[in-house]
Amino acid sequence: MPSRFYVTTPIYYINDVPHLGSAYTTIAADVLYRYHRARGDESRFLTGTDEHGLKVQRVADEKGMTPQAYADEISAKFREAWPKLSCFPDDFIRTTEPRHKQWVQDLWKRIAERGDIYLGHYEGLYCVACEGYYTEKELTQPNNLCPVHGKPVEHMKEESYFFRLAKYQQPLLDFYEKNPGFLKPEGRYNELKSFVSGGLEDLSVSRSTFQWGIPVPGDDRHVMFVWFDALSNYYSALTSPDDNSRFWPAVHLLGKDILRFHGCYWPAFLMAAGMEPPAVEFVHGFLTVNGQKMSKSLRNTVHPIALAEAISPTVGADVVRYTLMRAVSFGQDGDFSIADLVQRYSSELGNQLGNLLNRVLPFAETVPEKGPKTALEDKLEAEYPAKAKAAAEAFDAMNPTAALGHIWTILALANEYIDKAAPWVAKKNDAARLGTIVATAVELLEAVSVMIAPVMPNVSAAMREQLGLAVFAGEVGTDAWPFALPARAPGGALSRGTPIFPRFEKEKEAELLARFSSPTEEAARENAANGGAAKADPKVVVAETAKVESSTGTQESALANTESTSAKAESAQAAPREAKAVIQYDDFAKMELRVGLVVSAERVKKKDKLLDLRVDVGDAAPRRIIAGIAKSYAPEQIVGKRVVVLCNLAPREVVKGLVSEGMLLAGGDGDVLKVATLDGELPAGAGVK
């Protein structure tokens, strides 16, 4: 049933310009917002800027500007940035706007009237960058450094208004108890609960040592604590120009560094005012970029908008959005690397998605009549709905990473369907069969164009143009999610357009890697010695690993010579995956990968997942490889395939008496594994790099 969905990002500090970190939260919010619109929910998306505080006042002073002029300049950069990444919030709130100030002052008065704000003194250690006090216990020792910024804190003593936070310890714990879904993921919720259970002290909520803030009602010697001011944006933005308060309670997205403010202080302020706390808070992890912590200089190097523009003026933003949502499990820390983006562009986007259009559209100019169905169409129609449902459920659970995983299993199904249905054969002598194949594939492509639209709206539009369909836009009250394959009437125009993901020219790929890879000093020296940045980057990335459990223990690998436990592998798909540590090219180069020709295959007795293969890898005799692919390939299906083999892996007795002398590379989630093959017939033993 359609409902309301109100998603927010934190409002961004204006001491920085938009960067990959702020883009990450904003893109995630935009993705969830677009998804909910597709489901027919009345949806609203808010972002904005956090403009008060000592930090801003100091920066403006240094620049010889008024804080307001400085705030106007930087806030405009944020407002202009988001559409360039295809993020279109309904509203952009600034904490210096009258509508915000008015509402925060009303909130303050409401809480004060109920007796939960009082005047006292505060003395403590203050981090200007956090705009918050810390106890010595919380600081990094020696030297009392801020645990978030690593900078020395300042000793401050001031008259201050206090909020009776201690009074809300038990109400908060009761609220958490009654609302187990309030804060996600679970690990973060536990962290929050233990912070609150550890005891809460009353909170200083005003400052009298600087002026750049919202005056305390009735005492303008004080301005409000910036977090009291900033958190209120989520509600103040609903009050004007139109009353949008029906959207409350909100879904807040935030980074793990601001958990305490959102999970503890904000619900307590609202409770004190007699208001409803937010509905859900989702805490995402921190990004590293090309394996490195995001320092200011790195942020500038991998500027998301410059990167999007360098990839492509039409779909560059979508490629950045896709990589951020797919490569880093939402809720976990992870790495965003350009080498990974380039790899995903060519394999997941180019080969699996873009190429699917090219495999279908050349066969018809209009949607053909469907002829009789075969077992292939039956299989597709039978398997599709569960995967479309799983994708929707993953989006519902705020897991865009898993949702994309499910959508890509649909693409794998579709590509397998084309492989087996072979429209190029039907074209020769069976027009009715060709009609069925093309019409079925067109329906599947239409469904995919809807499912990817939240993450890649521009790619969706380009696909739909080729399919003769209008741009997909959600409509309140209409659930447009393709839970079943859409039925397309015959006759509609199809137009084969230019490829959506044209192959990167070698020079372009090298340029992207060189410009956005922000190599470590060591890699930079190596690059210089090799005469170019691109050389140091691995060209082949072993992506998409599923956690498989072998008879001898647990091993994380896409390499399939072990018996996989399907339940584990399935859950690895649904659950966010931890990004692995970044490796250097030298690590990658240690693998001896070769083309292998499978010369024979048989099942291993009493082991329903294993095949016993002989693979020619260019040695004097074929090698024995025990591969965990029996659920995906019958012996006769694998014989004759050219596969990629890891040849220098130590031999291992996988089953008593059967020693595997290498590994096949395979990809896939769950039981369905697909062996890695090569684009062309290379001789057995040829190197793979």
CB-based contact 134:149 (threshold 8 Å): no
Of 223, 231, 317, 601, the one binding ligand MSP by CB under 6 A:
231
* Distance in angstroms (rounded) separating the CA atoms of residues 60 and 310: 33
Q: Minimum distance from CB of 78 to ligand MSP (Å)?
A: 9
Task: Output the DSSP codes for 290-319.
Answer: TTEE--HHHHHHT-HHHHHHHH-TTTHHHH
Q: Closest CB to ligand MSP among 43 and 47?
A: 47
Show Cβ contacts of residue 116 under 8 Å, excluding neighbours closer than 6 positions.
163, 164, 167, 272
Interface map 186-225 toward ligand MSP (x if CB under 6 A): ----------------------------------------
Q: What share of the chain is helix, strand, coil (3-state, %, to 5)?
A: 45, 20, 35
Please state the closest distance from residue 527 (CB atom) to ligand MSP, in A: 25
Burial of 672 (0-12, 13-18, 19+ CB in 10 A): middle
Torsions phi, psi for 454 (to 5 deg): -60, -35
Provide the mask over 40-79, with x wherever binding to ligand MSP is found by CB under 6 A and - wherever it is not: ----------x-----------------------------
User: Of 11-19, 215-223, 451-459, 551-559, which segment contacts ligand MSP by CB under 6 A?
Assistant: 11-19
The residue range among 5-13, 374-382, 594-602, 630-638 that interacts with ligand MSP, by the rule CB under 6 A, is 5-13
CB atoms within 10 A of CB 231: 26
The CA-atom distances, in angstroms, between 649 and each of 587, 646, 663 are 14, 6, 7
Decide whether 258 or 647 has the Cβ nearer to ligand MSP: 258
Query: Considering the complex, what minimum distance in angstroms separates the CB of residue 103 from ligand MSP?
Result: 14
Among the listed ranges 229-237, 423-431, 442-450, 548-556, the one in contact with ligand MSP (CB under 6 A) is 229-237
Of 301 and 440, the one with the shorter C-beta distance to ligand MSP is 301
Angle 384-385-388 from CA coordinates, rounded to 5°: 90
Taking the CB of residue 402, how many other CB atoms lie within 10 A of it?
24
Count CB-CB contacts under 10 A for residue 126: 22
CB-based closest residue to ligand MSP? 255
**How far apart are CB 417 and ligand MSP at their closest, in Å?**
38
DSSP three-state, residue 257: helix
**Rounded to whole angstroms, how far apart are CA atoms 672 and 555?**
18
Q: Which of 11, 38, 203, 356 binds ligand MSP (CB under 6 A)?
A: 11
Q: What b/e string do you get for 131-156 counting C-beta neighbours within 10 Å, with b at 16 or more?
A: bbbbeeeebeeeebbbeeeeeebeeb
Contact by Cβ (8 Å): 133, 204? yes
* Closest CB to ligand MSP among residues 285, 482: 285
Task: Check residue 258 for interaction with ligand MSP (CB under 6 A).
Answer: yes
In the complex, what is the shortest distance from the CB of residue 431 to ligand MSP, in angstroms, rounded to a whole number? 54
Which range touches ligand MSP (CB under 6 A), out of 170-178, 226-234, 317-325, 557-565? 226-234
Regarding 82 and contact with ligand MSP (CB under 6 A), the answer is: no
Closest distance of CB 575 from ligand MSP, Å: 20
Q: Say how far apart CA 587 and CA 244 lie, in whole Å.
A: 55
Task: State in angstroms the smallest separation of the CB of 131 from ligand MSP.
Answer: 8
Nearer to ligand MSP, 259 or 319 (CB): 259
Position 287 contacts ligand MSP (CB under 6 A): yes
Interaction between residue 230 and ligand MSP (CB under 6 A): yes
Q: What does the alpha-carbon distance between residue 376 and residue 421 come to, in Å, rounded to a whole number?
A: 7
Tokens of 160: 């201050």
- 565: which 2 tokens? 């436990």
Stretch that binds ligand MSP, among 83-91, 228-236, 370-378, 391-399 (CB under 6 A): 228-236
| Phi (first) and psi of residue 458, to 5 degrees | -75, -35
Chain positions 13 to 32 lying near ligand MSP, rule: CB under 6 A, are 13, 21-22, 24-25
Six-digit token pair at 449? 């164009």
Nearer to ligand MSP, 94 or 609 (CB): 94
What is the closest distance, in whole angstroms, from the C-beta atom of residue 143 to ligand MSP in the complex?
A: 23
Q: Does 286 bind ligand MSP (CB under 6 A)?
A: yes
Q: Give least dist CB 254 to ligand MSP, A.
A: 5
Smallest separation, CB 326 to ligand MSP (Å): 16
Residue 254 engages ligand MSP in binding (rule: CB under 6 A) = yes
Residues that bind ligand MSP (CB under 6 A): 10-13, 21-22, 24-25, 50, 230-231, 233, 254-255, 257-258, 286-287, 294
